[in-house]
Structure 1
Amino acid sequence: MPRPDDFADAIPAMTMWRQDFHRHPELGFEEVRTSARVAELLRGWGIEVTEGIARTGLVGTLRGARAGNRCVGLRADMDALAMTESTGLPYASTTPGRMHACGHDGHTAMLLGAAQWLAAHRERFAGTVHLVFQPAEESLGGARAMAEDGLFERFPMEAIYGLHNLPGLPMGTIAVPKGAVLASSDTWEVTFRGIGTHGAKPHLGRDATLAAAQFITAIQAIAAREVDPLGTAVVSVGHMAAGDPAAPNVIPASVFLRGTARALEETVRTHLETRLAEIAHAIAALHRLDAAPRYIRRLAPTVNHAAQAAVMVAAATGTADAVRDDHPPITAGEDFSEFLARRPGAYAWLGTGDPAHPEGWHHNPYFDFPDAALAHGAAFWCSLVEAELG
């Protein structure tokens, strides 16, 4: 199986692509430049390209030199985040308020590196590889949009695989969790409506602020007291809006709260949805005011299929510096779950070592994907193709 050393000659090109993508970040469904560059490179290697899937997504189709009817998919996400970069790097974002703070620039470059190698070594596999370059992974539903645009009907796949960088995991390590990889990621909101009044005369009103404060405290008991301690649930408040800072002597008539809920199991996810609404209504009744809760299901848990996880472990064993099949799940969300709901597949972590900057973790203005990881990721993708189709 190919090893990272086999990509020594490709590292300069992969680094150039990655830094170019980093310099020109694009948000979800806006990856026009990125998508065009990916398509240009794939066509240059003789790979069939289909563009415009879910607006800015594309698929490169690569057939092996040997006869075979099996088809697999490899996915890389392309979108950036609405953040201002603080790295000061020579290839830092040139677009204000946009940056690659999750490493999707690296994911795209690694899959391109694998595509170039596979195109030059078609004799090493039989069947078809679909290279899926996905838009809008960052909470905008790019995976679902591609699926609804006929991804799996137009490009039949027996299995689909995803790979994501993971700072803190030793460089070159491949980790393939058993079962749950990432949590569901849902949004909830609630508006408490009472009666506003003068801050000196609270008895003349019905205080929505007090109700909101008690709600924030009460919902923490869901994870602490209602979910099995060996299970996982996270409920967080991310936004609160009430009153006017120029009028601190007014008790506002309404308070709006918004946050997230996460779980590794669908039963826990449903419990969170039910209890958030029940607690909102109960506290509203206690204070004789109204509550309007809403729960928005966004991303289901990302759960690996056992057979495909085993294939990833086998591929990694032949190419990675180290392999872990016991990595614990992470409570972030990932819309690769949309693909896994439709086809068998698995999702792995690529270790990228400790970040160069002490604050350089995912979704941080100091984040930067380390180019030293590119050969590791490309080699793993090629090994996975050989494990499935070789």
Structure 2
Amino acid sequence: MAVINRIAGFAEEMAAWRRHLHAHPELGFECHETAAYVVERLREFGINGIETGIATSGVVAVIEGQGEGPTIGLRADMDALPIDETTGAIWASETPGVMHACGHDGHTTMLLGAAKYLAETRNFKGRVALIFQPAEEGPGGGRVMVEEGILDRYDISEVYALHTLPGVEAGGFFTCPGPIMAAVDTFHIDIQGCGGHGAYPQDTRDPVVAAVGMVQAIQTIVSRNHYTLDELVVSVTQIHTGSAENIVPDTAYINGTIRSFDKDVQQMVWARLREIVEGQATSYGVSAELRIDQGYPATVNDPGRVTFAAEVARDVAGEAPVVTDRSREMGAEDFSYMLNERPGAYLFLGQGDAAGLHHPGFDFNDAVAPVGASFFARLVERAQPVA
């Protein structure tokens, strides 16, 4: 791995940062201790342009380069997941029921490593804005940071982010132009029937049968209403109804997820859901209400920035692969809100053999942290070179 020598020199220090963060995970917007730790490190590096409390606990720190130039944004997420850890590591979570199972401790560490190097060298024009974001796993800290104006306030012209990826070669980079992560929406269907005795169904308006009909019809959206090559997932994940074998209930509830990349496909799914719910409710003599919670939009990479980021990745990956035609993911990511406002790129960084993301046995591979930090640093130096 052709990491920057200076960054390789403080790799053990980075591992110590990461393990501290791993042992002290926080959820959602409440990443206050994590943010305080980040700010303490930034001040040690001589970085004074720091804003805190964005999106509750987010941090933006600015490093001034040499002379006038644009501002490039680098983002790392800080929050953990509500999972009981099973790694058995010395640095395992000290907070019951909470752990870094998605590598955000590593993401924060890689950005801190880049910050340390860039603050020492300042071998770039313009500025770099370091974005430490809460609540990627939950309500969408990326959206809130954008709404609170960080992109405009710091005049950020383009944005980049890394995400660790287990199961592929350590230190390799994997990305693609255009959509790389899906939009995610959640649907809820509340069915109101009329219950009664299970022995006399003719006296009821059965919400169970209506729910089954709706679920069966929902399966046809993917199989019959969209073009096969447009990736789409519509999954029913919950059905709740009934209380006993001899009672027809009054109500039923259906819940599920929609994953899509194209806005027209997304709108088609919403329309078909409305038609199915209304039509099935009428046919079974019940009433039904559909609610759709629109979640993160699709994460869409700028093709030109992907080409540039891949060139930088090849500088630091050494013998590890740099893949620019990776298949897109049905998972979702709130970095999408930043990419909706500014061109940029989102890349995966290979973790090597490890437990999967969101698994209680997952632990970030400290050996790849200098690779990610070198990528961020070289990205800034090549995007905004000093004449």
Q: Percent identity?
A: 42
The aligned length equals 382
Task: Tell me, yes or no, if the aligned pair for 2:6 and 2:117 is still in contact at 8 Å.
Answer: no
Q: Does residue 375 in structure 1 map to residue 370 in structure 2?
A: yes
Structure 1 residue ranges without an equivalent (≥5): none
Structure 2: gaps spanning 5 or more residues: none
Q: Cα RMSD over matched residues?
A: 1.5
Q: Deviations over 1:260-301 (max 9, x none)?
A: 101011111111111112111111111111110011111111
CA distance in 2, matches of 1:366, 1:219: 35
**SS of residue in 1 equivalent to 2:295:** strand
Q: Deviations over 1:163-218 (max 9, x none)?
A: 11111221111112111110001111001111111122222111111111222222
After the TM superposition, which residues 20-59 of structure 1 pair with which residues of structure 2 at under 5 Å, given as runs? 20-47=20-47, 48-59=49-60
Q: Secondary structure at the match of 1:120?
A: helix
TM-score, reference length from structure 2: 0.95
Q: Which residue of 2 aligns with 1:326?
A: 325
- Tell me the CA shift for residue 2 of structure 1: 6.7
- Deviation, 1:240, is 2.3
Q: Is the 8 A contact 1:38 1:112 kept in 2?
A: yes
How far the C-alpha of 1:8 sits from its partner, in A, is 2.5
SS, match of residue 114 in structure 2: helix
Cα offset for 1:223? 1.2
User: What is the alpha-carbon distance in structure 1 between the residues aligned to residue 377 and residue 9 of structure 2?
Assistant: 16
Shift of 1:354: 2.1
Partner of residue 126, structure 1: 125
Are residues 293 and 158 of structure 1, via their aligned partners in 2, closer, same or farther at CA, if it must alter by over 3 Å?
A: same
The aligned amino acid for 1:85 is E
Contact 1:176–1:312 (8 Å) recurs in 2? no
Quick one: structure 1 residues 154 and 145, their matched pair in 2 at CA, closer, same or farther if it must change by over 3 Å? Answer: same
Aligned counterparts, 1:241-256, within 5 A? 241-244=240-243, 247-256=244-253
1:284 corresponds to? 281
Q: Deviation of residue 387 (structure 1)?
A: 1.8
Report the equivalent of 1:60: 61
2: distance between equivalents of 1:225 and 1:92?
Answer: 47
Report the Cα distance in structure 1 between the residues aligned to 2:362 and 2:351, rounded to whole angstroms: 12
Deviations 1:332-353 (A, max 9, x none): 0111111111111111111112
CA contact (8 A) 1:5 1:375 kept: no
Maintained 8 Å contact 2:183/2:261 = yes
Match of 2:294 in 1: 297
Indicate if the aligned counterparts of 1:2 and 1:382 stay in contact, CA closer than 8 A.
no
Query: Which residue pairs with 2:97 in the alignment?
Result: 97
Where does 1:260-279 land on structure 2 (aligned, <5 Å)? 260-279=257-276
Shift of 1:128: 0.4
Which stretches of structure 1, 4 residues or longer, exceed 3 Å deviation after superposition?
A: none
For 1:1-390, list aligned pairs within 5 A: 3=3, 6-47=6-47, 48-64=49-65, 66-122=66-122, 124-244=123-243, 247-320=244-317, 321-355=320-354, 360-390=355-385
Amino acid corresponding to residue 80 of structure 1 in structure 2: A
8 Å Cα contact 1:176/1:325 also seen in 2: yes
TM-score, length basis structure 1: 0.95
Equivalent position amino acid for 1:256 in 2:
Y
